[in-house]
A and B are shown apart, each in its own frame.
Chain A
Amino acid sequence: MAEVLVVVDATGGAPKKVSLELLTLARTLGEPAAVVFGDAAPLDAKLKEYGAAKVYVADAPDIEKYLVAPKATVLANLVRDKQPAAVLLPSTQEGKEIAGRLAVKLDNGLLVDAVDVAADGTATQTVFAGSTIVKSKVTKGIPLITIRPNSVTPTPADSPGAAAVESVAVELSDTDKLATVTDRVAEKKGSRPELTEASIVVAGGRGVGSAENFKLVEDMADLLGGAVGASRAATDSGFYPHQFQVGQTGKTVSPQLYIALGISGAIQHRAGMQTSKTIIAVNKDGEAPIFELADFGVVGDLFKVVPQAMEEIRKRK
């Protein structure tokens, strides 16, 4: 069976959930081969469990020191060398950027933000705020596709992969070493799951009223083990940091459960969340458009409804 390269994203010594989703999907297209940038040893067990037959490891300081370009160069050489049947990357900003460079290097078609890929390489994408479904195909080269997190249920393989480790040479050109990362700063997130990967997202909007009040949104998220999101109105007002923004100019999320607190549901916000499996809304304004897509809605004061809900959840635990 032909190899399908899966670019692995890892954090804190473990593959991110999206990487396990990609391996699960890759198994339907061929034989998964993981591509790891950095130290692969802590990831091996999980990659094996999810069916990786091979693990290609590119480990060199230059890969983290310079933005994107080194990873694309390594990957392009790997594709030329191994002639895989397809390449899958996570639809994160970096995943898409690596894929973009790869497409130019190989003069190969590129599809981004797929939510599914059929055995023949046909990708399903949702566009225009989830209102339109598109089926598309790469017509030049191999399927080079980025997959949106939370699109596939990650499932361990029936029998574990061999996960045979093969070291990959990191040979970079001068133009790969132009954008130098001089500092990386982590901002507040705590132990919460990553917004785009979370199964549950609790998001606050203008109705939350202030940065201090966002504590309530955070508390609700923590009680449910979810991530915190915010509408543009909330981030523009400085209630919550911009990188947690959900919507047209922020993140697109597709969790099992999305709880919108004090969010009216403007079309730009819906663009980022309306493919969520279940949507719950709490808003004072019964006419708010968010109720048009909520599976369950409460018209009321979120500062009364949410504390009561939290109390009830604690009781049931």
Chain B
Amino acid sequence: MKIVVLVKQVPDSGAERSLRADDNTVERASANNVINEMDEYAIEEALRIKEAQGGEVVILTMGPDRASESIRKALSMGPDAAVHVIDDALHGSCAVATSKVLAKAIETQNADLVLCGAESTDGRVQVMPHMLAERLGMPAVTGARKLTIDGSNLTAERQTEEGYEVVTAPTPAIVSVWDTINEPRYPSFKGIMAAKKKPVTTLSLADLGVEPNEVGFDGATSTVIEHGTRPPRQGGNTVADDGDGGTKLVEYLAGEKFV
């Protein structure tokens, strides 16, 4: 079984994040860039499937030069190899164009399974699995909290608004996972050392047969006109509970017409 795991480098969601003043894209230069947290669960799930059934795990990342740090970090968890789609023309790409490039890159891998996190912490758009599925003619099962692979079929339990659904699909398939699916391992010292020697293939747009004007700002299907900072919320009145905190709380609610 060959598993491709989509890994995105994102600015750390635990710190202040911003958009660039010049072109409204995500500020990455000054940010602490990390692996999108949810993707670590996808890597873990891929490694568990490989450990149980054999096969190969390949990391696939599209991103600028500095994304290679995240690729090495991902490899230190145990995957066998990585593919880095890198091209200056990709800067400013919209989701539709990104899916075009990623789909082409996935096609080079002949994967049985494509795994990714249920969402990225920067965009939180959640559309990539279905966009890729649409392009590749594969099934997409999103938000899995449990995944079983049986030969060329998979069964997933996926979270929904109301509870969960059980979904079956043939492979090759795309599955996105929530953080409830497993507990990702920490890279071992041995894993970190081994990651330095693992093969990382770089692919350009030319390698994938995509024209530069199909991606980036030129090929974008939507544009950010402007952005601004939302004034931070101002904390209001805070009282210490002197035995009447509950009453004071309700007085406030009543003043705001909630009770």
Could you list which residues of chain A lie within 8 angstroms of chain B, going by C-beta atoms?
Answer: 67-69, 72, 92-93, 96-101, 103-105, 107-113, 122, 126-141, 175, 178-187, 189, 194-196, 200, 224, 242-243, 248-249, 252, 256-257, 266-268, 271, 274, 278-282, 286, 291-301, 304-313, 316-317
Contact = CB atoms under 8 A, between A and B. Distances in A.
B209 interface: no
Contacts of A282: 245, 249
B138 to A, nearest CB: 7
B241 interface: yes
B112 to A, nearest CB: 14
B131 A101 contact: yes
B142 interface: yes
Contacts of B250: 309, 312-313, 316
A297 B241 CA distance: 10
Interface residues of B, number: 87
A306 B190 CA distance: 51
Given A296-B236, A313-B250, A97 B142 contact: yes
B179 interface: yes
Given A68-B130, A131-B16, A137 B235 contact: no
B230 A178 contact: no
A72 B167 contact: no
Contact of A294 (B140, B161, B238): B238
A103 B221 contact: yes
Interface of B: 13-19, 24, 37-38, 94-96, 99, 119, 121-131, 133-135, 137-143, 145, 155, 159-170, 173, 178-180, 220-230, 232-233, 235-241, 244-250, 252-254, 256, 258-259
A294 B134 contact: no
A96 B140 contact: no
Contacts of A299: 238-241, 245
Given A140-B221, A242-B145, A305-B246, A294 B235 contact: yes
Given A249-B179, A313-B259, A105 B222 contact: no
A211 to B, nearest CB: 16
Contact of A104 (B13, B18, B126, B135): B135
Contacts of B96: 103-104, 107-110
Contacts of B237: 295-297
A178 B124 CA distance: 25
B246 A304 contact: yes
A240 B15 CA distance: 27
Contact of A139 (B125, B221, B254, B258): B221
Contacts of A310: 246
A68 B223 contact: no
B180 A100 contact: no
B233 A109 contact: no
Contacts of B15: 267
A258 to B, nearest CB: 11
Given A181-B167, A224-B259, A307-B246, A131 B127 contact: no
A308 B249 CA distance: 9
Given A111-B222, A129-B13, A178-B173, 20 more contacts: A67-B140, A72-B130, A99-B127, A100-B99, A104-B131, A112-B127, A132-B19, A134-B226, A137-B223, A141-B221, A175-B137, A178-B139, A224-B259, A249-B37, A249-B179, A256-B258, A268-B14, A298-B241, A298-B246, A313-B250
A301 B122 CA distance: 35
Nearest to A307: B246
B236 A110 contact: no
B106 to A, nearest CB: 14
Given A97-B126, A141-B221, A293 B233 contact: yes
Nearest to B100: A104
B233 A274 contact: yes
A175 to B, nearest CB: 5
Given A180-B168, A297-B236, A132 B241 contact: no
Given A104-B96, A131-B230, A179-B167, A296 B249 contact: yes
Nearest to B164: A185
A288 B67 CA distance: 34
Contacts of B245: 282, 298-300, 304-305, 308-309
Nearest to A180: B168
Contact of A135 (B180, B224, B258): B224
